[in-house]
């Protein structure tokens, strides 16, 4: 029996040992859970939330742009973007490989995109495809449903849609992801902001406010339900001063004429820009979907510089079109009256140098009106010499040819008309009166933008009010259209009536009489205009550079307004390397015809479909560029130097 | 056979606690699987069949059962061998016998069979502490099913057989010294096991446990998610069927291995304490039955059954909190699994049986 008792005792003791162990273990478990659930609760709760809650950005559509008659110019379309969210990705490389295969993408490119964003938080989507095709979306969604691509997200985002054919590309500009300098003030990382043109200048109005949606997702990344949604606020609707039909007419005109260049057409009474062209252009739609490197590199390395907005960034010598400034200055300064006559024998000597007129035989005796009509160099050499460079500079400034026009577009370049002060500051040298002679026919150091030339023409047209070109007409702040405040007029000079009539008559004669602008003539519309040639290289240089790669043909200007007695439209057509200023006149004509047809409700004019190759210019007295042969006429003792007179 | 007076000696408290745990389990399976699904249905059948098995095991005198223990043991071994060759394959291992309507997992029944045979072997007609020969015999009886189950492979279930042998041997008087020797031997064997016996995925699980961050998207994922699930539950939980971790499947097999995590998430620390309390009550109450047992056979039988149960409960709950390597070990009475439920309830039938018959001859 002792053994039995012994057994009993042992069993009891050992059972107690087990009992105690179990109790201790359970106590330890309870303490562990207390730590996890009470002490560290907040931390794990946050982790659980990060697990299943995801905040999706809802991109705000940018404001729609309308033309002055309410036609939609730039809007937004629906697009799909495909992103990878790495939060629950087990094998990122597998996802990348599968996505590339399914969407037909280049594997290394996808890897590069992902690598670029590797440092970002894993919950932030990495956009792999912007503006995915419907086929891509369908393929990806099908795989997602099979749980093969749980970490790939397809989102619908609004995307900027610009007109086809790169219409008014430089005017609209383009959008792109905000760079570091643009962050802040409501712009967050990854936001789409305007990078150029109106998109950039009025970005604040157009951008709107991105919304956000907080959703619950399961472990497969599928959205289960929405917790909270802050809808995006669309950008402000903006009405531009642009007239779609005039914009198109100007661009069609260039295409028809077969050269690049720039145009700015405005209402001379207000400075409202009706059309702004710069060619060649880029397609802003390429940027809307995130421009690829190849396209960007091609745009940047293109010798024709399609990214440059020639209208406000290209600077060229104005040539004969500058004679309008000389005429205005001489008349307004009271140095001469319109009847002032000069004899042109084909050239004249100033300061020991012989300066040629472009007409070998000379224009004979010309007054102001005929000097403008015929673009007589000798007449304007004479006036320029009388004025001196500083008074030329002063009137050029009053007409808008000095400095910036103040147009509401980014990165405008200064226009330059020299003065003694300007030269002293620039080179430290004094001004030589002989230099004034070249300035008076728009050569030498005169370099101006097409926009400045348009302002000059508008100022001449409206009788002395230097308007500021502007593009915004009205903004819808949410309560209907509100007219935008027009920019202040920086300069207002009332020209004398005789100044105005002489200028207007002369410019009218350029188009409607024996001048060089005959191709802009529209019966009954009294178009006034002036041609000009911007030399790319001097005549001597041209000889030297013959056979080179560079396009050495001259640029041609045509500035205009209409109708002569009540100007409603003014502007500039600048033809790049088109050789002759009069080649821009048909473009102006087409724009003016379109303007009046539209105003009077008639069908808009069309350009003859087959663009005829530019015909050999008719025997126009001014047309033939004249080399400098007249050594015999050089005054004895004077250096036989001539100034290039290839301007008319 | 089932005498009227025995009815009064049924441990109703223990039975009630067991049923309460089953009910909690059913409700959590309901929550984790999203409503009335075939999975829940199977589980309900499991509980009902289990109660039937419990009644059967209660009805037959455990001493008669122990007399047949060698037959039961051999039958289970035969089934295990059959499974090894002809069993249904799921998830890379061969554990089930496909009966058409449902699958049976013989390894679950191996625990009770082992408990029976060991109790019979050590508890019958023996006096004094166990001898070394006895212990060798115990080791052999345990090793046979253990090795077969490990070959399926199902290391988790195989491991639950070890506590059965240890607990019975310990109470039967195994020298404490020997326990120490076994522990040292186990430690020494670990590197060898690591090298030769473990599959790659098993090695990964263990190394991941030691440092979950090394593979936060792979094997460590479950462990981290388990901790997040439990921790985010807080003191009062997110509410029934409101748990995000389980409902949105950040935690895999929420109705099975990780059912306790889901409970902790939805019912909070309060629910955890209640459930832990129930399990502790069940275990202590069963240990009490062992103490009260009329004979050593009864005591050993209770211990053998209880040992695998307790081991599984403790391991699974520790794992549920992300504090142990992830192992395919279910939580008895709560996790989804028909065979496990039936075998566990049958085991409790044996425990109740021993207590109920403590006064009979």
ipTM reported for the complex, 2 dp: 0.92
My answer on whether A129 and A256 are in the same domain is no
My answer on whether A171 and A267 are in the same domain is no
Q: Choose among A323, A417, A328: nearest CA to A376.
A: A323
Residues of B in contact with A51 (CB under 8 A): 225, 228, 244-245, 248, 250
Answer yes or no: do A44 and B231 touch at CB < 8 A: yes
Please check whether residue A402 lies inside any domain of the structure. Answer: yes
Please check whether residue A36 lies inside any domain of the structure. Answer: no
Mean pLDDT of A553-567: 91
Task: Choose one of A181, A209, A240: the last residue of a domain.
Answer: A240
Tell me the C-alpha distance between A440 and A383, whole Å: 8
My answer on whether A96 and A213 are in the same domain is yes
Answer yes or no: do B284 and A7 touch at CB < 8 A: no
Please check whether residue A374 lies inside any domain of the structure. Answer: yes
My answer on whether A117 and A263 are in the same domain is no
Per the listing, tokens 């103490």 go with B291
Phi/psi of residue A630, each to 5°? -85, 50
Task: Choose one of A240, A272, A299: the last residue of a domain.
Answer: A240
Tell me the C-alpha distance between A440 and A647, whole Å: 11
Please check whether residue A194 lies inside any domain of the structure. Answer: yes
Task: Choose one of A208, A240, A272: the last residue of a domain.
Answer: A240
Please check whether residue A193 lies inside any domain of the structure. Answer: yes
Answer yes or no: do B310 and A22 touch at CB < 8 A: yes
Tokens of A544: 């030297």
A33 to A26, A29, B234, B316: CA distances (angstroms): 11, 6, 10, 13
Please check whether residue A46 lies inside any domain of the structure. Answer: no
The domain of A106 spans 56-217+229-240
Mean pLDDT of A551-580: 90
Compute how many other C-beta atoms are within 10 angstroms of the C-beta atom of residue A30. Answer: 17
Give A178's pLDDT tier (boundaries 50, 70, 90): confident
My answer on whether A263 and A388 are in the same domain is yes
Phi/psi of residue A638, each to 5°? -80, 145
Please check whether residue A69 lies inside any domain of the structure. Answer: yes
My answer on whether A338 and A192 are in the same domain is no
My answer on whether A197 and A331 are in the same domain is no
Predicted confidence at residue A25, as pLDDT, reads: 94
Upper half-sphere CA count for residue B282 (Cβ side, 13 Å): 29
Answer yes or no: do A51 and B245 touch at CB < 8 A: yes
Residues listed for chain B: 361
Residues of B in contact with A95 (CB under 8 A): none
Q: Is the peptide bond before B153 cis (omega within 30 degrees of 0)?
A: yes
For an interface test with B, give the residue of A23, A32, A33, A150 to mutate (most B CBs within 10 A). Answer: A33
Mean of the per-residue pLDDT values of chain A: 85
Tell me the C-alpha distance between A601 and A69, whole Å: 13
My answer on whether A167 and A99 are in the same domain is yes
pLDDT digit string (tens) for A269-295?
999 999 999 989 999 988 887 777 788
Find, in chain A, the residue whose alpha carbon is nearest to that of B229.
A48
pLDDT digit string (tens) for B217-241?
555 778 888 888 899 998 998 888 8
Number of domains within chain A: 2
My answer on whether A233 and A273 are in the same domain is no
pLDDT digit string (tens) for A610-622?
555 555 444 344 4
My answer on whether A163 and A252 are in the same domain is no
pLDDT digit string (tens) for B43-64?
999 999 999 999 999 988 888 9
Percent of chain B with pLDDT over 90: 40
My answer on whether A457 and A339 are in the same domain is yes
For an interface test with A, give the residue of B215, B231, B301, B305 to mutate (most A CBs within 10 A). Answer: B231
Please check whether residue A296 lies inside any domain of the structure. Answer: no
Tell me the C-alpha distance between B215 and A36, whole Å: 21
From A3, A33, A219, residue closest to B248, measured CB to CB: A219
Q: Measured between CA atoms, how close is B97 to chain A, in angstroms?
A: 31
My answer on whether A207 and A249 are in the same domain is no
Per the listing, tokens 């500058």 go with A322
Q: Measured between CA atoms, how close is A231 to chain B, in angstroms?
A: 25
From B128, B171, B323, residue closest to A14, measured CB to CB: B171
Answer yes or no: do B248 and A51 touch at CB < 8 A: yes
Find, in chain A, the residue whose alpha carbon is nearest to that of B129.
A7
For an interface test with A, give the residue of B232, B279, B291, B299 to mutate (most A CBs within 10 A). Answer: B232
Give A639's pLDDT tier (boundaries 50, 70, 90): very low
């Amino acid at each position: 029996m002792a053994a039995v008792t012994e057994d009993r005792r042992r069993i009891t003791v050992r059972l107690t040992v087990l009992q105690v162990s179990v109790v201790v273990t359970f106590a330890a478990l309870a303490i562990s859970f207390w730590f996890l659930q009470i002490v560290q609760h907040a931390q794990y709760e946050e982790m659980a939330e990060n697990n299943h809650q995801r905040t999706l950005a809802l991109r705000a559509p940018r404001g729609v742009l309308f033309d002055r008659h309410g036609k939609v110019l730039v809007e937004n379309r629906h697009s799909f973007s495909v992103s990878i969210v790495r939060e629950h990705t087990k094998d990122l490389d597998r996802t990348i490989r599968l996505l590339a295969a399914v969407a037909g993408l280049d594997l290394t490119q996808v890897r590069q995109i992902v690598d670029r964003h590797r440092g970002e938080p894993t919950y932030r989507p990495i956009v792999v495809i912007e503006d995915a095709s419907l086929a891509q979306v369908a393929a990806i969604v099908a795989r997602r449903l099979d749980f093969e691509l749980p970490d790939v997200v397809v989102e619908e985002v609004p995307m900027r849609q610009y007109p086809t054919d790169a219409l008014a590309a430089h005017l609209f500009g383009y959008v792109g992801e905000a760079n570091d300098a643009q962050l802040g003030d409501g712009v967050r990382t990854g936001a789409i902001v305007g990078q150029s043109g109106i998109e950039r200048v009025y970005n604040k109005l157009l951008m709107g406010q991105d919304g956000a949606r907080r959703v619950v997702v399961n472990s497969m990344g599928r959205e289960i339900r929405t917790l909270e949604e802050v809808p995006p606020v669309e950008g402000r609707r903006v009405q531009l001063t642009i007239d779609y039909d005039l914009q198109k007419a100007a661009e069609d005109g260039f295409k028809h004429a077969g050269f690049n260049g720039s145009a700015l057409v405005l209402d001379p009474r207000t400075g409202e820009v009706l059309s702004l062209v710069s060619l060649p252009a880029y397609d802003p739609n390429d940027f809307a979907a995130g421009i690829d490197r190849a396209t960007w590199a091609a745009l940047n390395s293109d010798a024709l510089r399609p990214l440059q907005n020639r209208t406000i960034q290209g600077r060229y010598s104005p040539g004969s079109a500058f004679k309008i400034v000389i005429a205005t200055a001489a008349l307004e300064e009271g140095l001469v009256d319109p009847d002032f006559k000069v004899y042109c024998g084909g050239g004249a000597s100033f300061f020991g140098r012989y300066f040629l007129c472009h007409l070998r035989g000379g224009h004979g005796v010309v007054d102001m009106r005929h000097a403008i009509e015929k673009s007589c160099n000798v007449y304007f050499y004479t006036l320029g010499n009388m004025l001196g460079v500083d008074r030329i500079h002063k009137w050029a400034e009053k007409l808008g040819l000095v400095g910036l026009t103040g147009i509401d577009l980014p990165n405008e370049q200064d226009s330059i008309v020299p003065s003694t002060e300007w030269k002293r500051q620039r080179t430290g040298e004094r001004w030589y009166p002989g230099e004034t002679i070249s300035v008076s026919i728009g050569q030498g150091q005169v370099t101006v933008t097409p926009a400045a030339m348009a302002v000059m023409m508008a100022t001449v047209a409206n009788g002395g009010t230097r308007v500021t070109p502007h593009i915004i007409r009205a903004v819808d702040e949410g309560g209907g259209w509100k007219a935008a405040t027009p920019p202040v007029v920086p300069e207002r000079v009332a020209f004398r009536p005789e100044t105005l009539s002489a200028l207007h008559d002369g410019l009218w004669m350029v188009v409607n009489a024996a001048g060089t602008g005959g191709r802009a003539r529209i019966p009954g519309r009294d178009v006034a205009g002036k041609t000009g040639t911007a030399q790319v290289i001097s005549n001597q240089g041209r000889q030297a550079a013959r056979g080179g790669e560079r396009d050495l043909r001259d640029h041609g200007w045509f500035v205009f307004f209409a109708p002569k007695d009540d100007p409603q439209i003014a502007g500039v057509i600048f033809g790049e390397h088109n050789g002759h200023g009069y080649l821009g006149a048909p473009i102006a004509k087409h724009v003016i015809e379109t303007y009046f047809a539209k105003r009077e409700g008639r069908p808009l004019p069309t350009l003859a479909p087959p663009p005829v190759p530019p015909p050999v210019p008719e025997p126009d007295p001014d047309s033939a560029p004249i080399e400098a042969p007249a050594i015999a006429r050089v005054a004895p003792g004077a250096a036989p130097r001539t100034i290039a007179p290839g301007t008319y | 056979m089932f005498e009227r007076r025995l009815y009064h000696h049924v441990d109703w408290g223990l039975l009630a606690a067991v049923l309460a745990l089953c009910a909690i389990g059913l409700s959590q399976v309901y929550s984790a699987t999203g409503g009335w699904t075939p999975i829940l249905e199977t589980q309900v059948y499991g509980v009902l069949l289990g109660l039937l098995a419990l009644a059967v095991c209660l009805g037959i005198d455990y001493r008669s059962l122990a007399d047949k223990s060698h037959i039961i043991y051999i039958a289970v071994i035969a089934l295990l061998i059959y499974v090894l060759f002809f069993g249904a394959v799921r998830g890379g291992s061969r554990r089930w016998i496909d009966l058409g309507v449902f699958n049976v997992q013989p390894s679950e029944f191996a625990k009770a069979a082992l408990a029976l045979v060991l109790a019979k072997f050590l508890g019958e007609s023996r006096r004094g502490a166990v001898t070394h020969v006895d212990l060798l015999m115990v080791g052999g009886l345990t090793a046979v099913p253990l090795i077969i189950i490990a070959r399926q492979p199902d290391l988790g279930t195989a491991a639950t057989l070890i506590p059965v042998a240890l607990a019975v041997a310990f109470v039967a008087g195994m020298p404490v010294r020997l326990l120490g020797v076994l522990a040292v031997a186990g430690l020494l064997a670990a590197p060898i096991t690591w090298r030769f016996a473990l599959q790659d995925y098993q090695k990964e699980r263990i190394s991941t446990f030691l440092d979950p961050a090394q593979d936060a998207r792979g094997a460590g994922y479950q462990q981290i998610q388990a901790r997040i699930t439990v921790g985010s539950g807080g003191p009062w939980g997110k509410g029934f069927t409101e748990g995000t971790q389980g409902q949105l499947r950040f935690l895999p097999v929420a109705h099975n291995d990780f059912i306790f995590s889901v409970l902790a998430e939805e019912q909070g620390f309060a629910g955890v304490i209640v459930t832990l309390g129930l399990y502790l009550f069940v275990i202590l109450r069963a240990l009490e039955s062992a103490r009260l047992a009329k004979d050593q056979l009864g005591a050993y039988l209770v211990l053998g059954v209880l040992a695998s149960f307790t081991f599984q409960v403790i391991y699974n709950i520790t794992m549920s909190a992300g504090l142990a390597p992830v192992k395919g070990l279910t939580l008895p009475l709560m996790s989804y699994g028909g065979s496990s439920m039936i075998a566990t309830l049958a085991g409790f039938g044996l425990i109740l049986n021993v207590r109920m018959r403590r006064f009979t001859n």
